[in-house]
Chain A
Amino acid sequence: MTAFASGLDGPRLLADSIAGKFPDSHGRFGPFGGRYVPETLIPALERLEHGVREHLHARDFQAAFTRELKTWVGRPTALTFAGRLSERWGAKVYLKREDLAHTGAHKINNAIGQALLAKRIGAKRIVAETGAGQHGVASAAACARLGLPCTVYMGAVDMERQAPNVGRMRLLGAEVVPVTTGDRTLRAAIDESLRAWVSDPLDTYYLIGSAVGPHPYPYLVRELQAVIGREARAQMIEATGALPDAVMACVGGGSNSIGAFHAFVPDAAVEIIGIEAGGRGAGLGDNSATLSFGRPGVLHGSFSMLLQDEDGQIQETHSVSAGLDYPGVGPEHSLLHAAGRVEYQAVTDAEALDALKACSESEGILPAIESSHALFGASRWAAANKGRTILVCLSGRGDKDMPTLQSTLLAAEGK
């Protein structure tokens, strides 16, 4: 495992990835992934792995999942040609509108899928963590829909900056537990969810919100989110007669991005770019750009890239967007990074807010601050690729960000 730094065979890893060899029988994407959890959780993960094998691709599960996506989530989500942004930035910009999905972000695809699976494997209650609150809201909604009790752990810092979502979760019947330990953001919320799960591993189902965690979660979440890229790929061909030249999505833990990228990985001509939160800059603790600045290590159950110090202590992170404010990243992203298939870039807080403003004013769409990182990345790409076509995963809507926007963009403009 630690020998990995001595040189990975990128082309080979990519070929194996496209051939569907990952995750392998050890739950690994090349060297990344695995299952690093306390022994108490092993039976629960084995049961989940068994459940995934038995149900995820079974006809009746897929029929139920597809029906929920269509009639409750509102899929397929639209593909929107962003005409005025295209004019402004100089490339043809298409937006995959996950902001139009029920509850306002892509998170719902995963939440309803995992909740359906949890019921099938006999779970009695759900715990979930949330950063921006979108996964918490999606989990609360999915649990209400299926009649499962739901507890959401949320960092105290995030409860403040995403206050509207806290109320939504409570209205949807979930219990929201403030996490006041650790960094009081997403990472501490995951720590606390894992502790809740360790306390009751067999009746509790941990509905993880991103493509992170021990095997089989990164795989499960990717499979449930891959609908984004599948739809978008077909919609691009329908709208333009061709694949886009580039696909872009923001990367925190990496669920909207892995979902958007997955269908395009075999399309060698399509550039794939993941945008991480560059925060205030490149310094340790100033950003959440794991693949740009991190080193491999183990956190939250898997071996992946991490923002850590030389002693292996996990770093505090910073991002204006709660949903990207996380020191790790899903293991499949680490693989795609190591294999050279996806390029990962950082976009700062200020740049993301600029793009949020541009998208709102030019397209009548208020994007989430998370998604705005991808939008800024698209504008940067457009500047170097005039006249070409880019697909951006607009992972969620920005209504939840009003408290942050009041104190940043609107305050700066005196509104």
Chain B
Amino acid sequence: MSGRDTISAAIRSAVAQGEPALVAFMTAGYPGREKFREHLQAVAAGADVVEIGVPFTDPMADGVTIQRSSHAALAQGVSLRWIFSELEAMQRVEAPLLLMSYLNPLLAFGIARLADTAARAGVSGFIVPDLPLDESAELQAALDARQIALVQMVTPVTKPERMQQLCAGSQGFVYAVTMTGTTGKNVAVPAEVIGYLDRVRELAAVPVCAGFGIRSREQVELLKGHVDGVVVGSALVEVLERGENATEWLRQLRTPRVTARAR
């Protein structure tokens, strides 16, 4: 299976078991560069897909948590080169890996050698929040050559025609941003968000995962049936920051509640 197909397959396999897939985000090397491999393994054990955040000095789509984790990781010398070398050196995790990076660190690394290096490191896809579809031809072509996914984002303000293009162009999954704003805020899941996610799902050929502001099992419950997966980012970064067990925290997000009636 090609790298990008492993992403869709992992999400679909979770859905087949009756639960939305968990796509878990962690900032590489935070907290603690020396614990990166351990953290990645813990996150991968509780998630279906893992997004590894490449820190950047100016994360304009991110809220305070990921700003903090990015700056701390950079201060410890985390870079894209370091992430690749760690991934190459460590034992592969089962969950497919994506890198989430702003464009400039990828440009500095060199688009020409990015896909080969990523493939060697076991990376199946990329999410680049400041690279809209219209500007993505060069990166897309480079990733296509190694069958690595480039995930597109859609938002509640995206117009219908563009929504169609983005859904058609996205690989691995469609990242449906739940709200206007930066990452990390707690988001309510009102009816209009559900309606929007249902529309995205109708258009998309690949699975649809909702992200931005997903922090609790209650939210996951509300989204169930309307998405194929949920992306948890800031909340997970905070779990790691507090030194708590990431695997358990991820698992409780979708463990069906044992109610009195169920017994």
Contact = CB atoms under 8 A, between A and B. Distances in A.
B104 A191 contact: no
Interface residues of B, number: 45
A278 to B, nearest CB: 22
A182 B135 CA distance: 27
Contacts of A236: none
Contact of B158 (A35, A43, A187, A309): A43
A2 B110 contact: yes
Given A39-B177, A201-B157, A311 B108 contact: yes
A38 B60 contact: yes
A2 B137 CA distance: 12
A198 interface: yes
A35 B132 contact: yes
Interface stretch (A90-98, A150-158, A298-306): A298-306
Contacts of B71: 182
B58 A187 contact: yes
A3 to B, nearest CB: 8
B192 interface: no
A199 B182 contact: yes
B225 interface: no
Contacts of A26: 134
B154 A311 contact: no
B111 interface: yes
Contact of B74 (A43, A195, A313): A313
Contact of B130 (A298, A310, A312): A298
B159 interface: yes
A308 B104 contact: yes
A312 B106 contact: yes
B61 A2 contact: no
Contacts of B74: 313
B103 interface: yes
A36 B138 CA distance: 14
Contacts of B122: none
Interface string B141-182: 000000000001111011100100010000000000100111
A314 B79 CA distance: 13
A113 interface: no
B57 A182 contact: yes
A198 B180 contact: yes
A194 interface: yes
A406 interface: no
A297 B135 CA distance: 14
B9 interface: no
B201 to A, nearest CB: 17
B107 interface: yes
B232 interface: no
Contacts of A160: none
Given A202-B157, A297-B104, A313-B57, 13 more contacts: A1-B107, A39-B132, A40-B181, A182-B71, A194-B60, A195-B63, A199-B181, A201-B180, A297-B107, A298-B102, A298-B103, A298-B104, A312-B108
16 contacts: A1-B107, A2-B107, A35-B134, A38-B60, A39-B152, A39-B158, A201-B157, A202-B157, A297-B108, A299-B58, A308-B104, A308-B108, A311-B108, A312-B106, A312-B109, A313-B105
Interface of A: 1-2, 26, 34-40, 42-43, 181-182, 187, 191, 194-195, 198-202, 296-301, 306, 308-314
Nearest first, the 10 A-B pairs at minimum CB distance are: A312-B108, A312-B105, A199-B181, A312-B104, A311-B79, A38-B61, A314-B57, A39-B153, A40-B155, A194-B60
